[in-house]
Amino acid sequence: MQLILEIKNLQVAVEDTIIINDFNLEISAGELHVLMGPNGSGKSTLALTLMGHPRYQVKKGLIALNSQEITHISPDKRAKAGLFLSFQQPQEIPGVQVFNFLKEARRAITGNNEGVDEIYDELCDYMDLLGIDQRFAYRNLNDGFSGGEKKRFELLQLLMLKPKLVILDEIDSGLDIDALKSVAEGIQLAQEQNPDLSILLITHYQRILKHIKTPDYVHILQKGTLQQSGNYQLIEAIEQGGYEIFN
């Protein structure tokens, strides 16, 4: 199986405090990996480091995507290489219209000069599938969106941008059951669209996993280090005993 993400001996600091240490992970094409861990264990730090957020300094180690080293390249180049991060807290960007944003992002990432109508038609199809009102195409990015709408919009971006690896940072947090279902359907749709899509799903709960395929691996992060890796049964153990079982 083709290796999509390779993280070797990663050490990450924020303002000179080491947050992630000695972190190793390999994700192959089409695999679903779940990353769990207590609040403050470094999950979002890892996600933002993979995307190249300038606040997070890689002190040691390397990150490779599809055999290309990306450890120190800019976020736009990482996106072009096939990486997509859905934020735990999506930003509101007044003045940037949803449709224009997606059109420009898609053109920048694919390098194709697709027609506006073609992109718009595809956008409308995905909006229907995700249960997003088509009028959202003309609203400003996340501006005044509810929590559930922001998360669905992250998936809309995922479907439009067609990455190789997607990192979903707590896409299920704060959602009611209907919003959770439509978010899970969006993930399934992205998998159907591209069976080789690799997913790193950061979550606290197994409830979203009831709606999508069984994870291939489950990893537990504690204090910035991988404590244990295993299968689905790890999640059940945590839901019963909490993270203390690893101490």
91 touches ligand ADP by CB under 6 A: no
230 touches ligand ADP by CB under 6 A: no
Token pair recorded at residue 18: 């080491």
Residue placing its CB nearer to Mg ion in the complex, 190 or 221:
221
Give the nearest distance from C-beta 56 to ligand ADP in angstroms. 8
Sketch the per residue contact string, 20 through 49, with Mg ion: x for CB under 5 A, - otherwise.
-----------------------xx-----
182 touches ligand ADP by CB under 6 A: no
Q: Contacts for 189-197 with beta carbons within 8 Å, 24 or more apart? A: 189/126, 189/129, 189/130, 189/159, 190/155, 190/158, 190/159, 190/166, 193/159, 193/162, 194/162, 195/30, 196/2, 196/29, 196/30, 196/164, 197/30, 197/163, 197/164, 197/165, 197/166
Q: How many other CB atoms are found less than 10 A from the CB of residue 164?
A: 18
> DSSP E strands: which ranges in the chain?
3-14, 17-28, 32-36, 56-65, 68-69, 83-86, 93-97, 140-141, 165-169, 198-202, 217-222, 225-230
Residue placing its CB nearer to Mg ion in the complex, 88 or 157:
88
Residue placing its CB nearer to ligand ADP in the complex, 88 or 142:
88
Q: Total residues at the site for ligand ADP (CB under 6 A)?
A: 12
| Residue 31 DSSP class | -
Identify what 40 binds: Mg ion, ligand ADP, none; CB under 5 to 8 Å per kind.
ligand ADP
- The CB-side HSE value for 116 (13 A sphere, CA atoms) comes to 4
Give the nearest distance from C-beta 99 to Mg ion in angstroms. 29
Give the nearest distance from C-beta 40 to ligand ADP in angstroms. 4
Which range touches ligand ADP (CB under 6 A), out of 32-40, 94-102, 173-181, 191-199? 32-40
**Please, which of residues 125-144 interact with Mg ion by CB under 5 A?**
none
Residue from the set 4, 25, 34, 45 that interacts with ligand ADP by CB under 6 A: 45
37 touches ligand ADP by CB under 6 A: yes
Residue placing its CB nearer to Mg ion in the complex, 35 or 123:
35
Q: How far is CA 226 from CA 122, 131, 137, in A?
A: 39, 37, 40
Q: Which residues pair with 217 in a beta bridge?
A: 33
- Binding-site ranges for Mg ion (CB under 5 A): 43-44, 88
Residues at the site binding ligand ADP, with contacts judged by CB under 6 A = 14-15, 19, 37, 39-45, 55
